[in-house]
Structure 1
Amino acid sequence: MLLGGDDAIEAGHELNAVIAEIEWQATGRITGTLPEWRERHRTAFRLINAFHEAARADLGIQGNVTGEKHPQRDLLLPEAPRAQES
């Protein structure tokens, strides 16, 4: 925050807020469904990219982390566990 411009600072604040919600749901401080948990993670991924974009702009780095050369990515989820065979 000491070295970032306004856009990078705000992007960092937004990202921190969503990451806190993920932690709160994981630790039971707030309730939520699996779809809500997944949506929080998707939002976090989107905000990570927004933060990276703002930081890169502050540093004068060309290019971006989203767009045509960088396809949309989604959550990486493990397969559902199979019931144990007896």
Structure 2
Amino acid sequence: MATGQAPSNPVPARRTYQPVEHPVVVIGPQYLAQYPVELAVSTNDFKVADIKGTLIFQGERERLSVHHRCFFKSHKRHGIC
């Protein structure tokens, strides 16, 4: 690399995905996306976010539970199950 030049950072090519013929609905059709979405699950606070950090779902534990159940809510705090 010559002096005074910035290092080259190639931009990755965008992938194109074919639409899914029969999407599998796990939670509800309102949560379907027309493109692949990477999600990350945090075990400490039961949050599910996309790779940009946008909150998608959040889990809440029952306060007095013998079975340590967790209920997931949407980012608008509505129950999803």
TM norm. shorter chain > 0.5: no
Structure showing the higher helix proportion among its residues: 1
Taking structure 2 as the reference length, what is the TM-score of the superposition?
0.21
Taking structure 1 as the reference length, what is the TM-score of the superposition?
0.20
